[in-house]
C-alpha cells in the first residue's frame, strides 16, 4: 500500500516521502483506535466509548494533513511542468 502513488514530483521528493509516511501512520493509528473501540465494547459495554471514540480525531487530522501536503506537491508539479513547457524546456516536454 503506497498512498498517493500517482503524485509525482521532481523538487519535493523528501516531502512526498514524508507525506506518504504520515499517511500510513495515520491509517495505522486509525486502525488501532478502531480495534481498541471494538475490544473496549466487548469488555465494558458502550458506556465507556466516548473517550476512546474521541481519539479518532487525531488520526483523521493526520490523514487530512497528509492529503493537503499531497495536493500542494501535485499543484507545484503541475505549475513546474506548465512553466517549463511555456519556456520550452526539452527535458520536461519529453516527460509530459
Q: Looking at residue 89, what is its pLDDT? A: 59
Query: pLDDT in tens for each of the 96 residues of the chain?
Result: 778 888 888 888 888 889 999 999 999 999 998 888 888 888 877 666 777 777 888 899 999 999 999 999 999 888 888 888 877 756 555 555
Q: Looking at residue 22, what is its pLDDT? A: 93
Q: Looking at residue 65, what is its pLDDT? A: 94
Q: Residues 6 or more apart from 81 whose CB is under 8 A from it?
A: 92, 95, 96
CA angle 69, 70, 74 (to 5 degrees): 120
- C-alpha span between 18 and 82 (Å, rounded): 25
- C-alpha span between 47 and 51 (Å, rounded): 10
- C-alpha span between 84 and 47 (Å, rounded): 59
DSSP state of 10: S
Q: Looking at residue 67, what is its pLDDT? A: 92
Give the closest residue to 62 by CA, choosing from 18, 14, 27. Answer: 27
Q: Looking at residue 95, what is its pLDDT? A: 54
Amino acid at each position: 500500500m503506497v498512498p498517493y502513488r500517482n503524485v509525482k514530483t521532481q523538487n519535493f521528493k523528501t516531502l512526498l516521502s514524508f507525506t506518504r509516511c504520515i499517511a500510513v501512520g495515520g491509517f495505522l493509528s486509525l486502525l488501532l483506535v478502531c480495534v481498541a473501540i471494538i475490544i473496549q465494547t466487548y469488555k465494558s459495554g458502550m458506556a465507556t466509548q466516548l473517550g476512546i471514540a474521541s481519539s479518532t480525531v487525531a488520526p483523521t487530522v493526520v490523514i487530512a494533513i497528509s492529503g493537503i501536503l499531497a495536493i500542494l506537491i501535485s499543484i507545484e508539479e503541475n505549475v513546474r511542468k506548465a512553466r517549463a513547457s511555456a519556456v520550452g524546456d526539452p527535458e520536461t516536454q519529453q516527460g509530459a
